[in-house]
Amino acid sequence: MLTVAICERNSHFANGIKIIIQQLCRQFSETYHFLPLAHQDVADLVFFALDDNWSTANCYKIPQTTRHQRVILICKKQDQENLMFRPCLYMLPSIYREDEVEDVRLKLAPWIDPERRKKNTLPVPTSICHYCTTRHFNMQERELLKLMACGYSLIDAAFIMHIDENTARDKRLSIMKKLNIKSQYKLMNYIKLNLPFLLD
């Protein structure tokens, strides 16, 4: 039996997902049961909608899903690019609010088909959550951090990024404020400590 939990405030969208799942389950002769949200931890399929403030929210800890559970993200198409900065979310399969019904059916079919589901339910590595440490940085700040982690001086990093030294200095100051770090020495310690995921 396939168990499903849907965490979605838009009842029309949630009902649409339910109808598609019911149709697919009939197609694959699979029994199903919709669980209340309180029991989403034991569901085979969990549909998870992003909060309005998702880009600044704390880590979603979604990677703690097991081999027997698959989390499917509900988001807008425009969110997809920003999800790259939250790999704990970006690595999840997703359906877009703008998707046509047939597109949603095609995306969900592999997770409903009992045979294919066995091959598809791999957990997201828990270690990926550490990436959320840098979730508040914009693209230029991330690039500067990465170059500093590679050992480039501020002047060299500015040259590579095609910005002037003062702009690079402002970016570094912005990074320090976001990390609540008061000195360049502490910033370099932070970079050394977090070097593996800054370079990935």
Tell me which fold the domain 2-129 belongs to: Rossmann fold (3.40.50)
Paired with 92 in beta bridges are none
This prediction has a pTM of: 0.58
Q: Do domains 2-129 and 136-199 have the same CATH topology?
A: no
Tell me which fold the domain 136-199 belongs to: Arc Repressor Mutant, subunit A (1.10.10)
State the chain's maximal CA–CA distance in angstroms.
Answer: 64
In this prediction, residue 194 carries a pLDDT of 66
In this prediction, residue 177 carries a pLDDT of 85
| Cα 150 to Cα 77: distance, rounded to the nearest angstrom | 33
pLDDT digits (tens, 9 = 90+) for 34-52: 999 888 888 888 898 877 6
Ranges in the chain, pLDDT < 70: 52-68, 81, 84-88, 90-91, 117-136, 194-200
| Cα 24 to Cα 69: distance, rounded to the nearest angstrom | 18
H or E segment to which residue 47 belongs: strand 45-49
Q: Where are the domains of the chain?
A: 2-129, 136-199
